[in-house]
Amino acid sequence: MSDSLPDPLPTLDVRPIDRPRIPPGQSRTMKWPVLHYGNVPRVDLATWRLELRGLVDSARSFTLDELQAMPRQVTRCDIHCVTRWSRLDNDFEGVSVQQLLRLAGVRPEATHVMVLAEQGFTTNLPLADLDRPENILAWRHDGADLTPDHGWPLRLVVPHLYFWKSAKWVRGLEFMAGDRPGFWEQNGYHMYGDPWREQRYGGFDVKQWMINAFRRDSKKST
């Protein structure tokens, strides 16, 4: 008897069909630029955990093996960086965020989420923007494992917002009653970050070159 191929994973295609694919002020790239604050962290999977905490009925902790044993999905999407590049037709593979929200039992008073990542990085999201079927915690991209500089072992994927909201190296989700700014939101980026409304910057006169310099100065020799 011949070996059978594995069943394809469920795929949710959220590429827009009712408007242009590329938001205002963006340019398409065929590459995937690498941008982050600080150095790429070194991850020890023996101690690595994803934590769900805050306003939940059951605080949860997962190893990467436990996450990868859950039902997986592929989200097919375009991604848009606040630095004005867009990359079309991406396949991210991982576990549905909604699946994890059900396991934790998010309480009714929770309105926002702080995404917690390595090296103290954070970014904020309204709960309604996290609790969407296309959003996943991903460990693969276009059929291959994520590379460390793109967020391995786990990154959030929230395709409808600028891509800094899709934090790399995610370690937790903290559910909150009310909003507060994360790392980049405290350093000049918009609290929400809608690419179609060009919500790049916050309420003070910040320029992208200032943020680029801030990011560049964060790189340390090893």
Q: The domain spanning residue 84 has which CATH number?
A: 3.90.420.10
pLDDT for 35: 79
Q: What are phi and psi of 207, to 5 degrees?
A: -120, 155
Would residue 221 count as lying in a domain? no
Q: Are 185 and 124 spatial neighbours (Cβ–Cβ below 8 Å)? A: yes
pTM of the shown model: 0.88
Q: How many domains does the chain have?
A: 1
The rounded distance, in Å, linking the Cα atoms of 24 and 196 is 6
For residue range 33-60, list pLDDT tens digits in order: 997 777 899 999 999 999 999 999 999 9
**Higher local confidence (pLDDT), 215 or 84:** 84
Q: What is the mean pLDDT of the chain?
A: 91
Residue 78 is assigned to a structural domain of this protein: yes
Say yes or no to pLDDT of 175 above 90. yes
Q: What percent of the chain has pLDDT over 70?
A: 88
Residue type present at position 31: K
Indicate the helix (H) or strand (E) that contains 50: strand 50-54
At 81-124, the pLDDT tens digits run 999 999 999 999 999 999 999 999 999 999 999 999 998 899 99
* pLDDT tens track for 6-28: 668 999 999 999 999 999 999 99
Q: Is residue 2 part of a domain?
A: no
Q: In terms of DSSP bridges, do strands 50-54 and 170-176 run parallel, antiparallel, or are they unpaired?
A: parallel
Determine which helix (DSSP H) or strand (DSSP E) holds 68, and give its type and residue range.
Answer: helix 64-68
Residue 68 domain flag: yes
- CA-to-CA dists, residue 58 to 61, 63, 107, 111, 160, angstroms: 10, 16, 10, 17, 28
5 found inside a domain: no
Question: Is pLDDT at 2 greater than 70 in this prediction?
Answer: no
Q: What mean pLDDT comes out for the span 62-69?
A: 98
CA–CA gap between residue 38 and residue 220 (Å, rounded):
7
Residue 61 lies in a domain: yes
Residue 46: inside a domain, yes or no?
Answer: yes
217 within domain boundaries: no
Question: What residue numbers bound the domain in which 166 lies?
Answer: 11-31+42-212
Judge whether residue 222 has pLDDT over 90: no
